[in-house]
Structure 1
Amino acid sequence: MSPARGMALKLFALFLFMAMSSLIKASSAEVSSFQAVFFRSFFALPIIVIWLAARKELSTGLRTRNPAAHFWRGIIGTSAMGCGFAALGLLPLPEVTAIGFASPLITVLLAAVLLGERVRAFRLTAVGIGLVGVLVILWPRLSISPKDMEMAATLGVVLVLTGAALRSVAQIHIRRMVQSEQTSAVVFYFSLTATVLSLFTIPFGWVMPSTPVLWMLISAGLIGGVGQIFLTSSYRFAEASVLAPFDYASMLFALIFGYVLFGEVPTGAMMIGVAIVMSAGALIIWRERQLGLERGKARRSLTPQG
């Protein structure tokens, strides 16, 4: 194990995912979210295959004992990704990232309901605190005003929360899958399934993108594939409990990309809410480490988009 190397790989993966999200956001005015899902998934596939071939795992890494599980993981993850990409066109990048931090909180609750995991008062309290933080972030957006911009922002909030909930379901599903499936198989078949599923949305608003947007979308797919490899590799060098807190580095990258590329300045309420959510998440991570809960295999198979 080499924790420092694992941390560096995790941070670089998160940086790449944020760069990818920025490209998706920049193209959102021209292409639909599920058209973006296609490019994100299709162009990640060759990167994953090359990686497996380089590791001499192409024949073993893609074996599966449960194709149905991959199909349902694809349905859930593709829906989550579509919601997240749609939200990027409606809300600032830092806000989408901040609200997305609700996903680990929801996962704790779903683990109790679906997996029968015992969740005691400490983690329930932390989840409650985190949800208060999410509400602080959301409060300025919870408007029923007929103004188009405010309605769009409210829709964006709904999409981010839906995507966060779906990512939580995916996390629970993957925790069951990795008991019998290779991580590489989970990663590959998700990209493959998302590519195929996104094609069914062609009649619903696909367009021929302009040349600059086309290159943005292709780059997003390639960068996303590389990011997934770095994320998966990071868990080979450090324990999941060591790497989990670094997820919150996404917020720093979102603030930088949002300000530099889109001129997005976070509000005071959003930063207060982020601080509350991150504190609650840190408490949950610390408690899970104390309890010895192993979630590393599921984490390495799940991207920030689903």
Structure 2
Amino acid sequence: MQISELRLKSRPISKGIIYILIATLSFAIMNAMAKELSGMHPLQVVFLRAFGSFVFIFPYMLYRRISIVGSNPKILLARSLVGVVSLATFFIALQRIPLGSAVSIRYLGPIFGAVLAWFYLKERVSPLQWISFAIAFLGVIVIKGFDLRIDYLSLGLMLTSAFFLGMVFVLIRYLSDKEHYLTIINYFMIVCMLVGLCFVQYWRMPLADEWPSVIGIGIFGLIGQIFMTVAFKHSEASVLAPFKYMELVYALIMGYIFFGEGYALLPMLGIVLIVIGMVLNVYGKEKNTSST
């Protein structure tokens, strides 16, 4: 078989996959920068995360005449408030536990989102999804049971973050066909900044070696959001879902390189169980959707 025939038979990598890999890398860098700023008050970090994105989004919205207020301000405000709680509790826990553990436990967010959508939006949850939920929670139990670096307060903070992240998913699902995605993001950034300013008395000036993270945390968060949005416009969710968990791989690598975080076999098994549960949840949802 000639080389030209091989090229014809090979499929190029989807743009959606490339974009999702860029997005997950950006989010992983953002999380590592947030952990690098552990000496700051968590709400100051929340402010920096939001401000770094706001300064790019807001002028663009004005230029393109995208609605700032939106047509559903109460729901937009609710989405922003639950998002702030999720982000703040994540950053607080991130200062206390390894980066990879924090990211993996927060992946329970889609599970909470599916349960909340089942309860409030009457969305169907397939048997495979319920099994995936059990596997993921088993992974959390294994991580907590065998990683002594994770105390109960930190675990509670991460589960709170994941729960409110699930609420974010449900509210975004409701708003997705009613508001421009930048309107949703901009609301969130403004509320993050306002809440962060309420704790300004606890802020401090960044140290010299903290300035790259201070500047970069919002930029990489924005890059992640943009490429994530574009990725889902090019490819289906079921195709992109497995690549979304590359964020955890990046987090484990960065945690090891920059923070000296290693994992024993059993805690790593717990992380793997969470990822397996999340992937099964996606495929269970896709199968559920295709059968209706």
TM above 0.5, one fold? yes
Matching residue within 80, 99, 122 for 1:74? 80
Please tell me whether the aligned partners of residues 3 and 238 of structure 1 are also in contact (alpha carbons under 8 angstroms): no
Secondary structure of residue in 1 paired with 2:245: helix
Q: Which moved more, 1:103-112 or 1:42-51?
A: 42-51
Match in the other structure for 1:111:
117
Match in the other structure for 1:40:
49
Q: Percent identity?
A: 28
Unpaired runs of 5+ residues, structure 1, are 143-149, 294-306
Please tell me whether the aligned partners of residues 94 and 251 of structure 1 are also in contact (alpha carbons under 8 angstroms): yes
1:20 equivalenced with 2:30 (yes/no): yes
Secondary structure of residue in 2 paired with 1:60: coil
Secondary structure of residue in 1 paired with 2:117: helix
Any idea what the Cα deviations from partners look like across 1:132-158, whole Å, max 9, x if unmatched?
A: 11211121358xxxxxxx6x7332222
Whole-Å Cα distance in 1 between the matches of residues 67 and 200 of structure 2?
A: 31
Match in the other structure for 1:96:
102
Whole-Å Cα distance in 2 between the matches of residues 3 and 177 of structure 1?
A: 31
Matching residue within 260, 268, 276 for 2:257? 260
Counterpart mapping for 1:222-301 below 5 A: 222-292=219-289
When residues 169 and 50 of structure 1 are mapped into structure 2, their CA distance, relative to the original with a 3 A threshold, is same
Secondary structure of residue in 1 paired with 2:200: coil
Whole-Å Cα distance in 1 between the matches of residues 235 and 82 of structure 2?
A: 28
Q: CA deviation at 1:243?
A: 1.4
Whole-Å Cα distance in 2 between the matches of residues 11 and 17 of structure 1?
A: 10
Matching residue within 5, 9, 20 for 1:10? 20
1:221 equivalenced with 2:218 (yes/no): yes
Residue identity in the other structure for 1:28: S
Whole-Å Cα distance in 1 between the matches of residues 219 and 237 of structure 2?
A: 25
Larger radius of gyration: 2
After superposition, the CA RMSD in angstroms is 2.1
Whole-Å Cα distance in 2 between the matches of residues 219 and 108 of structure 1?
A: 32
Please tell me whether the aligned partners of residues 101 and 271 of structure 2 are also in contact (alpha carbons under 8 angstroms): no
Secondary structure of residue in 2 paired with 1:132: helix
Match in the other structure for 1:297:
none
When residues 247 and 61 of structure 1 are mapped into structure 2, their CA distance, relative to the original with a 3 A threshold, is farther
Match in the other structure for 1:300:
none
Whole-Å Cα distance in 2 between the matches of residues 50 and 175 of structure 1?
A: 26
Match in the other structure for 2:152:
154
Q: CA deviation at 1:278?
A: 1.6
Q: CA deviation at 1:52?
A: 5.3
Whole-Å Cα distance in 2 between the matches of residues 62 and 239 of structure 1?
A: 29
Please tell me whether the aligned partners of residues 41 and 191 of structure 1 are also in contact (alpha carbons under 8 angstroms): yes
Residue identity in the other structure for 1:138: K
Unpaired runs of 5+ residues, structure 2, are 1-11
Match in the other structure for 1:175:
173
Whole-Å Cα distance in 2 between the matches of residues 199 and 3 of structure 1?
A: 44
Whole-Å Cα distance in 1 between the matches of residues 139 and 159 of structure 2?
A: 14
Residue identity in the other structure for 1:11: L
Any idea what the Cα deviations from partners look like across 1:102-158, whole Å, max 9, x if unmatched?
A: 11222221111121112243321221122111211121358xxxxxxx6x7332222
Please tell me whether the aligned partners of residues 25 and 85 of structure 1 are also in contact (alpha carbons under 8 angstroms): yes
Whole-Å Cα distance in 2 between the matches of residues 121 and 232 of structure 1?
A: 29
Q: CA deviation at 1:179?
A: 3.0
Please tell me whether the aligned partners of residues 123 and 287 of structure 1 are also in contact (alpha carbons under 8 angstroms): yes
